[in-house]
Structure 1
């Protein structure tokens, strides 16, 4: 079984039921599957063969979902790309990923015109029309014009009945380029088995059904959305409420209008919803479940959100290399605040020391994972693959603990750990204390060079009131933290830098500190 095949089954079972809403307009499962067939058949006409690579430079639109499933149906490998990356970042991925076809928003035509001479392997640019017709004459003056195709025309002329080549479990379905916090991004190769098993297992674990309406506002090019808010729900016959861009007001409107039952977001989104002026428990009363991932959710925010809106947040954990989900707080057992929960079905997690030996309960170590969701490897990077996957186990680079009930807690990223005078300090434990202060909206903690202790702790804080001072927050930290964990300085900032999924970018803050010093 794979995602493309499962969609055929779901479309047969739920023909007239909405697969998704976009701009409040429904598209049925039968219509969605027909559009997938049309796009796949037209890709074949363009010369796309099984194993070819297709990049998607798209935001949250039906174009993305149709192109994703259409590319998989023709047997191609999909490479999702953040459309707001710089030309250099996009160019690296397209060239490194041996991309043959690029599916992109029409507003990116200037980018295609600028870049196509540096992309010798790209044969076609498929434009997804979102604006008024640019006019054939305007486009025909471009040097990239001969490589351009219209998404709309492909859907209009494609074959609604299309089977495509036979797909094997081990065929690579998607290559996800990691954020590249240490050097150039690496392409994690996820097979059809990886993606389908994780989507199915997450859907079942979170008790998704054809009665669910899932708010899909996380970026579709990101693996969290891909499995939890897109593929997982679709395997169960649920309906997606596609949101082009996160906005607290728009989320509340959609939840109320369509009686949404599931919301998936990163901690920043929960913070914005919680802080949004005028929101009440009634605004989100149809939700049966909220899902958090992408970064650790501060316990204070989790508890405040649940108390205000009377809805449970299930925090989980995943990474691109694992398709991504490995853990989730369960729905049929107690949820533990601050924990990422136990292993989901069919996936194993354990905590090990530097020698790869499992550590005792409660002791921190590196979290490692194995299961049908673990990637095939990094694209054209055998050495990096060997360093990451050892004896079938994926080494995540995250520090975690496991309790006596098998619940895991992420302490921090291995690379983010701060060494203060020989003592290990994990940014998250300092951040948890600051988030509990009523005047703190957001915070990020990092280590900075210190001539006496090797590193010291610096905090960036977005505050609620202009009256709160650094001295007051440092005094608060002294009440709740061991001496070596107390920040050496706190800097107030208007807004924390974030990536497109809302994850706080500690690296950008560290670069800022180093520049100022």
Structure 2
């Protein structure tokens, strides 16, 4: 089976005059996209010496150019790594050094990428800046079609995990992983070639590529690409392009909800609103329900390219809090510490096995072997299944608290506290306790204009949960620290407690 580099060629043949991408006032057809990826691939090979297995990195905004770099490297059998544009120079340098990147694409807006080149261990040979240099590179290129050399099991993308608990690791995602994910997404969501999506998640995040960008290229849909997230711009794009599918993480949905005059936007074109990346608070789910737009909650991770499970529209109320059931072709298990299946209703670690599950961690064979013990990928997420197979996550395995000998799952506490109408977002972490070993501490951000006392939150929680699960301390914050993909950085909260 061929690699994803062929997707551009096939789409040019089947959908050549169809608009593939819209960004600002400009649009690209599938034929133009294939031509530009061929031009770039020829330059990468002939001018920069990029060969199969070489690593090409990019610190660039979400853009058609970012996708051109991905597909050009894919045609050559090289490996593409988009790097988080919010990282500081030393953090970018760590990724470049760990990756062994030989070529780097940058953007003038991200000066820290240039500074990273001077850090120890970085050995990038060539740097190309988007803008005039990039445009001149393509204009001077040979437009001859490039015959892709990738095998389906070759690594197409190395996507670095968010690094919320330490140095990020590079997840090796193969061409087959991306194809299998696209097939699963298209099937699960009933996507059509006439569908239009607004890509608001950053492309250095697997959600920005795997949902929905690459599946839309696979089926020939239209991507409206946002270089960065702006809630008004997203709403404008949905209206102007009559978007049918929209994925936003919960913090993005909250920003959309806060747009003045929201009721004046005609969102009736949307067939589905999807929330993923973090558990959605009740306020977001209530907003989506009031909007009348069918909505789903999805769960995925970098290592699964990213799809694992989805809670379909008809179950979002009945199974509130669940991540749903695994997508077609994806196997899951819940196991104990000895990798034995746990009974229905019992908490266990979530394991996944499917064609979209990654090939392992870059240059980390021991961690890869540990993650894949028994032939299943161990996600580190703790969950429980009901009799109908619906999964509910209760915590990350490493985030579980043990207080007085009892296992306490922070997600369970967060769900309860989030029911309070004054609360915008909440995160629970464990703090050292002289008597109990650990005790729950809740970090809480309130809606504008709301007020609460710590005693109110504690009392509310105690009415719904056992005493040992009730936070002993409430920390009010303006906002919770998050990664660029909207995930709460619990390590930063734990560090705050230590500080």
Q: TM-score range by the shorter chain?
A: over 0.9
Secondary structure of the structure 2 residue equivalent to 1:36? helix
Q: Is the 8 A contact 1:233 1:240 kept in 2?
A: yes
Match of 1:268 among 239, 251, 270: 251
Match among 34, 57, 60 for residue 58 of structure 1:
60
The DSSP-based 3-state class of the residue aligned with 1:99 is: coil
* Greater displacement, 334-343 / 70-79: 334-343
Instruction: Answer yes or no: is 1:339 the counterpart of 2:340.
Output: no
Deviation at 1:281, TM superposition (A): 7.9
Cα deviation digits, residues 270-304 of structure 1 (max 9, x gap): 22222333322854222111122212223x23431
Structure 2 Cα separation of the partners of residues 245 and 340 of structure 1: 27
Note the alpha carbon deviations across 1:63-89, whole angstroms, 9 max, x for none: 111111111112111112112211111
Please give the alpha-carbon distance, in whole angstroms, between the structure 1 residues aligned to 2:253 and 2:323: 16
Q: Distance in 2 between matches of 1:407 and 1:226?
A: 26
Matched with 2:461 is 477
Which residue, out of 181, 189, 200, partners 2:183? 200
Query: Could you tell me whether the CA contact under 8 Å between 1:457 and 1:487 is conserved in 2?
Result: yes
Cα distance in 1 for residues equivalent to 2:224 and 2:443: 35
Q: How does 1:34-183 map to 2 (within 5 A)?
A: 34-45=35-46, 46-108=48-110, 111-112=113-114, 115-116=117-118, 118=120, 121-129=123-131, 150-183=133-166
Instruction: Show the counterpart of 2:383.
Output: 400
1:374 aligns to what?
357
In the alignment, is the contact (CA less than 8 A) between 1:219 and 1:501 conserved in 2?
A: yes
Q: Is the 8 A contact 1:281 1:309 kept in 2?
A: no
Matches of 2:99 and 2:55 in 1, distance apart? 7
Look up the match of 1:492: 476
Q: Deviations over 1:477-510 (max 9, x none)?
A: 2222221111112121111111111222111111
Residue aligning to 1:284 = 267
CA RMSD of aligned residues (A): 1.8
Aligned to 1:424: 407
**In structure 2, distance between residues paired with 1:154 and 1:323:** 31
Q: Are 2:306 and 1:324 aligned? A: yes
Q: Secondary structure at the match of 1:397?
A: strand
Offset from partner CA, 1:216-250 (integer Å, 9 cap, x none)? 01010111111112111111111111111212211
CA distance in 2, matches of 1:213, 1:435: 33
Q: Does structure 1 conserve the Cα–Cα contact (< 8 Å) formed by 2:3 and 2:148?
A: no
CA-to-aligned-CA distance 1:122-151 (integer Å, 9 cap, x gap):
11101102xxx6xxxxxxxxxxxxxxxx21
In the alignment, structure 1 residue 249 sits paired with structure 2 residue 250: no
Give the number of aligned pairs: 494
Distance verdict in 2 for CA 1:74–1:477, change over 3 Å: same
Judge which range, 302-311 or 115-124, deviates more: 115-124
Aligned match of 1:444: 427
Q: 1:363-422: CA deviations, max 9, x gaps?
A: 110000011112211111111111100132000000011111112111111111122212
Please, which runs of 5 or more residues in structure 2 have no aligned partner?
none
TM-score calculated relative to the size of structure 2: 0.95
Distance in 1 between residues matched to 2:128 and 2:27, nearest whole Å: 24
Contact kept in structure 2, 1:3 and 1:231, CA below 8 Å: no
Cα distance in 1 between the residues matched to 2:122 and 2:475: 47
Structure 1 stretches lacking a partner, 5+ long: 134-149
Distance 1:466 1:122, change over 3 A: same
Q: Which runs of 4+ in 1 moved over 6 A?
A: none
Q: Superposed, which structure 2 residues align to 1:215-230 within 5 Å?
A: 215-230=198-213
